[in-house]
Amino acid sequence: MAPDKVPVPPYYPQDNPVIRNNIARMYDNIMMMDKRVGELIDELKEDHLLDSTIIIFSSDHGGPLAWYKREVYDRGTHIPLIVRVPDKRHAGTKDEELHSLVDIAPTMLSLAGIPIPKYLQGQSFLGAKKAVHPRKYIYTARDRMDEQYDLIRAVRDKRYQYVRNYNPDIRRYHNNAYRLHMPMMQEILRLKAKDSLNAPLKRWFSTKPVEELYDVQKDPFELHNLANDVAYLPVLKRMRAALNAWELETRDKGFMQEIDLIKLMWPGLKQPETHTPKIEVLQQTENEKLLKITCATPGASIAYRLNTDPKGYWHLYLHPVSLSDHSSIKAKAIRIGYIESNEITYHEKAK
């Protein structure tokens, strides 16, 4: 997309070439992504799998622009969600209800006819177990952002966004190392050094109020804080209560010191180890064995590598693996936060 044609949000300078180039690159990447999705759908058609595949399209949060990613405002949390089911139910329709990515897991289970565990926070929006009552609120949170920290919680309904800043003394902007590599961020910091920022960007570099409230229908860029407007006091109280209830219901651990969180996951501050996987034979023929790989550590992912793979790639274990004469397989497992397991090797000898 041509840089002079891109729409520039009001919290950026409108005619800055560096910022316009960054925005244009984002739109170009979206076009490339759209092309790749089309190629994947074509591959499903060629493999005769399209009519038995549920496709859910979504994205990461915030995008590659400054003051987008890692924010609890709409620009940091509002993402695409497109669902295609094999029988084309609801094809071409738009769902105006509120949905969260925590709803994806229960929705997939519902579509697959699998019971939904009670511990899942989300609710299904499709399938046999579709929730009876649509969501009234969406909740978002911010704690650690790479090497930076800021405790923020937010709740949004179809019209209003309420933000609670638990560290109002910390300014909105964080000197995040990843962000500093962005040409747009470098340009914004250059403008700041010259005292040439527009009013919204100056706000980014200031400290925060304890509460923020936005009417996202009238103010989609969330520039006008209504928290101190008495006309919106009933809305403010309602959103406050909704956030308080959610924090209690989910036992929000963001209020714990990080060292205490580590103690919960690492008893005695000793990092747990992932158990070494086990390989067992499920079936056997004259020239081949079907192997099952398991790990005793709950939640661990298992990877395996065959000596017959010319590139020596590790593969995620999803189903039993075939092993023929003179072949060997290596496996290891890891659970996030744990020490990686030892490798185990199984060798199939020739008869």
Whichever domain contains 293, its CATH number is: 2.60.40
At 313, phi and psi to the nearest 5? -70, 145
In a domain, 321, yes or no: yes
Q: What is the pLDDT of residue 349?
A: 64
Q: In this structure, are 290 and 328 located in the same domain?
A: yes
CA nearest to 76, candidates 85, 94, 64, 84:
64
Q: In this structure, are 219 and 310 located in the same domain?
A: no
Q: In this structure, are 166 and 232 located in the same domain?
A: yes
In a domain, 341, yes or no: yes
Q: In this structure, are 245 and 321 located in the same domain?
A: no
Q: In this structure, are 217 and 306 located in the same domain?
A: no
Q: What is the pLDDT of residue 351?
A: 47
CA–CA dist 201, 30 (Å, integer): 25
At 301, phi and psi to the nearest 5? -100, 140
Q: In this structure, are 216 and 327 located in the same domain?
A: no
Buried b (16+ CB within 10 A) or exposed e, 209-237: eebbbbbbeeeeebeebbbeeeebeebbe
Residues 6+ apart with CB under 8 A from 81: 56, 57, 58, 99
SS3 content of the chain, % helix, strand, coil (to 5): 30, 20, 50
Buried b (16+ CB within 10 A) or exposed e, 265-293: eeeeeeeeebbebebeeeeeeeeebebeb
DSSP symbol at 342:
P
Average pLDDT for consecutive 10-residue bins of the chain (351 residues)?
A: 92 93 94 95 95 91 86 94 88 92 94 91 92 95 90 97 96 90 94 94 95 97 97 98 96 90 89 96 87 96 92 93 86 96 84 47
How many distinct structural domains can be found in the chain? Answer: 2
Q: In this structure, are 215 and 328 located in the same domain?
A: no
In a domain, 161, yes or no: yes
Q: What is the pLDDT of residue 311?
A: 86
Q: Which two tokens stand for residue 216?
A: 């996202």
Return the CATH number at 145: 3.30.1120.10
Q: In this structure, are 229 and 341 located in the same domain?
A: no
Q: In this structure, are 219 and 330 located in the same domain?
A: no
In a domain, 318, yes or no: yes
In a domain, 25, yes or no: no
Q: In this structure, are 168 and 225 located in the same domain?
A: yes
Kind and range of the H or E element at 212?
strand 211-215
Give the rounded distance of the alpha carbon of 300 from its chain centre: 19
CA–CA dist 227, 243 (Å, integer): 15
Q: In this structure, are 288 and 238 located in the same domain?
A: no
Indicate whether this model's pTM tops 0.75: yes
Which of 243, 269, 295 is the endpoint of a domain?
A: 269
Which of 236, 252, 269 is the endpoint of a domain?
A: 269
Which of 217, 235, 269 is the endpoint of a domain?
A: 269
- Residue range(s) defining the domain that contains residue 222: 136-172+207-269
Q: What is the pLDDT of residue 278?
A: 97
In a domain, 286, yes or no: yes
Q: What is the pLDDT of residue 286?
A: 79
In a domain, 48, yes or no: no
CA nearest to 202, candidates 220, 223, 186:
223
In a domain, 140, yes or no: yes
Q: In this structure, are 168 and 246 located in the same domain?
A: yes
